[in-house]
Amino acid sequence: MRNFYIVAYDITDDRLRRRVAKFLEGHGQRLQYSVFCCRLNQKEFESLSRELAKLISEEEQATVIFVNAGEVTGRTSQPDIYWLGERRTDCSSHNII
């Protein structure tokens, strides 16, 4: 079973922030500058969180937040995300890993 995960980060170091963004671009769809939507099963989520932990392990001023936004019910399903302001993109257009 796959779930939608919203992954958001706050990282002060520019180089590390770029590395984290590049890593997440390979796993999900960017919603905002530091927010991604990923479709992952439990094993993929555990792997993603482990790899991110390795990336930020030495940075004291780095925070990554994961929100389980619910089950993916079909190939075109999307999580219920409520937007304020301009909507940038959706979660349905990225490749499923």
Total number of domains constituting the chain: 1
Cα 15 to Cα 36: distance, rounded to the nearest angstrom: 18
DSSP string covering 11-24 = E--HHHHHHHHHHH
Cβ contacts of 66 within 8 Å, gap of 6 or more: 5, 6, 7, 45, 49
Average pLDDT of span 41-53: 92
CA angle at 74 for the pair 27 and 34, rounded to the nearest 5°: 30
Residue 19 falls inside a structural domain: yes
Predicted pLDDT of residue 59: 65
Q: Tell me, what CATH number does 60's domain have? A: 3.30.70.240
Q: What is the pTM assigned to this prediction?
A: 0.76
Residue 90 falls inside a structural domain: no
Predicted pLDDT of residue 53: 87
Residue 64 falls inside a structural domain: yes
Predicted pLDDT of residue 65: 84
- Please give the residue range of the domain that contains residue 58: 3-71
Residue 83 falls inside a structural domain: no
Residue 35 falls inside a structural domain: yes
Cβ contacts of 53 within 8 Å, gap of 6 or more: none
Residue 76 falls inside a structural domain: no
